[in-house]
Amino acid sequence: MIRLIFLLVIVAAVGYGGLAFYYQAMEPCDMLAQEAANQQADMLGVEADSDGLLAGLNRMGTSNMSRRECVDELWRAWFDG
């Protein structure tokens, strides 16, 4: 039982670490802003970076959101389209 719990903790830590590495952010709202910037950059045909204009504008949009709202929106961005 302890091994199973330990394994689940390791899997969760590696998963979150992978997301933090991909988005270069630890906060869900910053991850959401970067995901939106990546989608917008793809639509515009430009390259997105974590310190660019698109990410900054999206961070302004997510600054008033709670962590839970950001997680929900990030989940929708990944799995709903």
pTM: 0.77
Span 15-20, average pLDDT: 87
Query: In sequence order, what DSSP letters do the residues of the chain get, joined into one string?
Result: -HHHHHHHHHHHHHHHHHHHHHHT-SSHHHHHHHHHHHHHHHHHT----TTSHHHHHHHHHHTTS-HHHHHHHHHHHHH--
C-alpha to C-alpha distance for 70 and 39, rounded to whole angstroms: 16
Per-residue pLDDT, 81: 60
Domain ranges of the chain: 2-79
pLDDT confidence tier of residue 12, bands split at 50, 70 and 90: very high
For the cut 90, the answer to whether the pLDDT of residue 19 exceeds it is: no
Q: Tokens standing for 75?
A: 């989940």
Digit-coded pLDDT (tens) for 31-43: 999 888 888 888 8
* pLDDT (0 to 100) of residue 21: 87
pLDDT in tens, 41-56: 888 888 777 667 888 8
Distance of alpha carbon 24 from alpha carbon 34, whole angstroms: 9
